């Protein structure tokens, strides 16, 4: 890359549509698995709180999955889900997100004081109403904390999918490396960082809206 400027602004201007398309694809393949992971973590977390013996085996299983190299998992899935498909990348990312979200979901549900549960029951709340109006709202800070970690990790890992034909902004890293052209690499780094920052800011806003009492408690402790 000797003599090549770090950023060619004209190239960026000429490829705005291309960059926008890659950003959209990256957002889908990285964030949809997090939402699916959350949808799976909630019922599994509820089961683990009702039947505590389930938690350790499930947590151990997902920890093993989380430790597997993402590229190796992508390659193993290719014969079943195809090359350059979203499914090849999204299935492992869903498992990784679930490995992060299951413990935070269980911790959040366990954090509800037993007297609070008993008071809700005494007021005539059934199990599902108590879950929806008492337990899940109390677990929101834990859930958002897990979502922040899972989302940022997924946004980063999704770039590796470019090596199997579907990696969103990861294409920019491969393209820049193969052509010894740093501009796409810099653009990819900036866009991945921006996507992570925006996603994190949205989750923080969601926590503030869904659990304002948690924000007030943190401020009071300071």
Whole-model pTM: value is 0.88
Contact 202, 210 (CB under 8 A): no
Rounded Cα gap, residues 19 and 184, in angstroms: 9
Q: What is the mean pLDDT of the chain?
A: 87
Across 172-189, average pLDDT: 92
Tell me the C-alpha distance between 128 and 153, whole Å: 32
**Separation between Cα atoms, residue 47 and residue 75, nearest integer Å:** 32
Is the pLDDT at 221 greater than 60? The verdict is no
- Determine contact, residues 195/201, Cβ cutoff 8 Å: no
pLDDT for the residue 72: 87
From residue 72, how far is each of 69, 134, 190 by CA, in Å? 5, 42, 26
Segment 127-155 shows an average pLDDT of 87
Q: How many angstroms separate the Cα of 42 from the Cα of each of 101, 187, 204?
A: 9, 36, 19
The reported pLDDT for the residue numbered 3 is: 67
Task: Please say whether the beta carbons of 36 and 212 come within 8 A.
Answer: no
Q: Name which residue leads in pLDDT, 85 or 3.
A: 85
Query: In this model, does residue 185 exceed pLDDT 70?
Result: yes
Q: Is 30 a residue whose pLDDT tops 80? A: yes
């Amino acid at each position: 890359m000797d003599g090549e400027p770090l950023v060619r602004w004209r190239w960026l201007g000429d490829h705005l549509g291309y960059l926008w398309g890659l950003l959209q694809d990256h957002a889908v393949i990285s964030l949809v698995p997090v939402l699916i992971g959350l949808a799976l973590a909630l019922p599994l977390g509820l089961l683990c709180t009702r039947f505590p013996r389930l938690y350790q085996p499930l947590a151990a299983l997902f920890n093993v999955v989380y430790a597997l190299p993402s590229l190796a998992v992508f390659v193993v899935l290719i014969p079943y889900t195809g090359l350059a498909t979203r499914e090849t990348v999204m299935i492992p990312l869903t498992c990784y997100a679930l490995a992060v979200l299951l413990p935070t979901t269980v911790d959040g549900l366990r954090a509800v004081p037993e007297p609070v549960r008993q008071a809700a029951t005494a007021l005539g709340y059934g199990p599902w109403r108590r879950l929806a109006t008492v337990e899940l709202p109390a677990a929101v800070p834990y859930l958002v904390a897990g979502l922040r970690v899972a989302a940022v990790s997924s946004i980063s890992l999704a770039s590796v999918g470019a090596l199997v034909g579907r990696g969103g902004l990861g294409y920019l890293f491969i393209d820049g490396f193969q052509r010894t052209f740093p501009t796409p690499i810099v653009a990819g780094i900036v866009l991945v960082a921006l996507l992570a920052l925006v996603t994190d800011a949205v989750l923080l806003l969601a926590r503030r809206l869904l659990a304002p009492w948690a924000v007030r408690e943190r401020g009071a402790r300071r």
